[in-house]
Structure 1
Amino acid sequence: MSDQTMPPQHQPRQPGREGAMHPEPVYIAPGYRGSGKLQGKVALITGADSGIGRAVALHFALEGAYLALAYLDEHDDARHTLEEVERAGAEAAMFAGDLARESFCNEIIDAVVQRWGHIDVLVNNAGEQHPTERLEDIPQEQWERTFSTNMFSMFMLTKAALPHMQAGGAIINTTSITAYKGNPVLLDYSATKGAITSFTRSLAMNLAERGIRVNGVAPGPIWTPLIPSTFDEESVAQFGADTPMGRPGQPSEVAPAFVYLACDDASYVSGQVLHVNGGVVVNG
């Protein structure tokens, strides 16, 4: 195929596994050097076992943050992430469970506060997607599950975290290019990302008087385990080919946007979304 960007591949279950991907994602760009932008900050990152979440964790580690890393059940990938952030010099803790359960969200926050006393940065990144050609073929259970994982968990975790955040804190939500341009086979996923974008803007206004900034990052096609576990081999082989840059992005190319929004460099930035999508112009 002239527009092939990746070797054809598919994984039979979600969440995908990073170790089964070829090539594996790039999590730290060669030459990236931390400069203490998050020194001593306590950051909670969801979906941190692999993909964008792992890249954010590694960059935060290099910037000096303490890390609480939440994931579903990808234990091998999560152990790898923990090893990498500790190798980068970070103190970190892992939490496995379903963020669609309010009790788990509360458990994470309680554990983080017990260990570090407060939360400075909350990164709501966990998500799932299920391609379906026709709206009539989307089961009610799938629609509710996608919203529970992608959107409701964000509400529950943020609600639990806010009492432990102070002025100067930052909340960063992972939305998507699909919130702006749609996707014909990701109807429920795109709807959640639209909700996340609106939630981000509204919450930013709500928390401005408390000195807590709220922003989002809207990735385009990024090479993560979610991709081969979501799409068929042919779609994976052409992943990202329709961007102006003609390729998918790597997690290492998204994570610095999270660093910027988490640190004081973005002290006058709230209610905004950074578009890391290979050159697609949206929301213009």
Structure 2
Amino acid sequence: MTTDETQRDPRTMHREDPLPAQQQDEQPGLTAPTSPTPDHGEDSWIGHGRLTDRKTLITGGDSGIGRAVALAFAREGADIAFVHLPEEAEDAEETTRLVREAGRTCAAYAADITDEARAVEVVRRAVDDLGGLDVLILNAAYQRQREGIDTVPTDEVRRVFDTNLLAHVVITREAVPHLKPGSSIITTTSIQAVGPKPPLFDYAMTKAAQIAFTEALALELGEKGIRVNAVAPGPIWTPLIPATGFPDDAVEEFGQDTPLGRPGQPAELAGAYVYLASDEASYVSGSVIPVTGGKGF
């Protein structure tokens, strides 16, 4: 078999040119009305037993990046628990189906983790349902387009901070006592952490803070044999994008400004998480892996 038959041009993989204009009125965005349907690796991810029996908790695991990670981890042999908002029940059912189809345990919890008591309960239930915890993936996020600093509502900024930061602190605080040497924590940060855009300034603030959180935890928990890393996505096509409030032309041109000329798909991120959770990354901690289509990080 020749190289031309085994390699694919990354500029043309997954390409939809252009994306259709679309809006979803409220977050969380849902998969069904998102066009084209994001690729989570349903037809492409082949497992190789790299995460056999790793007990994994994912926040925001129902759709987009979270679903792609849940699917890849399950096909690599991991058991999965994930949390989602009640409004995302339909997406959560599909993620659960995909994990169980891979022959692994799956537990899904409908909960708003900005409620501290609910966040604490999620970790307790995951430990009980999975019989322990080996991997924690902090992926839940909220973002909205802002018209300007002079009009931004305080309650909206608070929701971004509560979802993207405070909930992660609570979940991690509750999870760490259950993690043993060899366990790992992986945060989903963003290219916005280093290249913030004004319409997403509050979201970008939380993503920069997540990098500091990751680096500080890596220093603290390394002595316990727990690795802490992050993945920094660039423009990835998920239900979050049409639900952010971007104008139609921004949705249509989403990801076109990358060197590869297109947005990424959730499936294209999954490998970074699998690597960081696996023994192949045994000397990797305090690191951020950018998956950005060539945009600088």
Name stretches of at least 5 consecutive residues in structure 2 with no aligned partner.
1-15
Residues 1:98 and 2:112 aligned together: yes
| Paired residue type of 1:51 | G
Contact between 1:5 and 1:248, CA under 8 Å: does it hold in 2?
no
Given the two structures, how large is their TM-score scaled by the length of structure 1?
0.96
The Cα of 1:88 is off from its aligned counterpart by 1.5
The Cα of 1:195 is off from its aligned counterpart by 0.5
Residues 1:42 and 2:63 aligned together: no
Between the aligned partners of 2:249 and 2:222, the Cα distance in structure 1 is 46
Match of 1:248 among 260, 263, 271: 263
Contact between 2:258 and 2:294, CA under 8 Å: does it hold in 1?
yes
Q: Helix, strand or coil: the match of 1:100?
A: coil
Residues 1:221 and 2:235 aligned together: yes
Between the aligned partners of 1:29 and 1:21, the Cα distance in structure 2 is 16
Contact between 1:44 and 1:119, CA under 8 Å: does it hold in 2?
yes
Residues 1:257 and 2:275 aligned together: no
| Paired residue type of 1:271 | G
Given the two structures, how large is their TM-score scaled by the length of structure 2?
0.92
Between the aligned partners of 1:38 and 1:59, the Cα distance in structure 2 is 10
Aligned residue pair count: 280
Between the aligned partners of 1:57 and 1:113, the Cα distance in structure 2 is 17
Matches within 5 A, 1:55-66: 55-66=68-79
The Cα of 1:31 is off from its aligned counterpart by 4.1
Q: Helix, strand or coil: the match of 1:190?
A: helix
Runs of 4+ in 1 over 2 A off after TM superposition: 29-32
Match of 1:267 among 254, 258, 282: 282
| Paired residue type of 2:289 | L
Name stretches of at least 5 consecutive residues in structure 1 with no aligned partner.
none
Deviates more, 1:168-177 or 1:67-76: 67-76
The Cα of 1:5 is off from its aligned counterpart by 3.1
Matches within 5 A, 1:161-172: 161-172=175-186
Contact between 2:70 and 2:99, CA under 8 Å: does it hold in 1?
yes
Q: Which residue in the other structure is 1:234 paired with?
A: 249
Matches within 5 A, 1:1-284: 5-28=18-41, 30-73=43-86, 74-230=88-244, 231-282=246-297
Contact between 1:4 and 1:241, CA under 8 Å: does it hold in 2?
no
The Cα of 1:232 is off from its aligned counterpart by 2.6
| Paired residue type of 1:242 | D
Q: What's the Cα RMSD here?
A: 1.2
Q: Percent identity?
A: 47
Between the aligned partners of 1:31 and 1:253, the Cα distance in structure 2 is 10
Q: Which residue in the other structure is 2:9 paired with?
A: none
Contact between 2:107 and 2:129, CA under 8 Å: does it hold in 1?
no
Between the aligned partners of 1:172 and 1:31, the Cα distance in structure 2 is 23
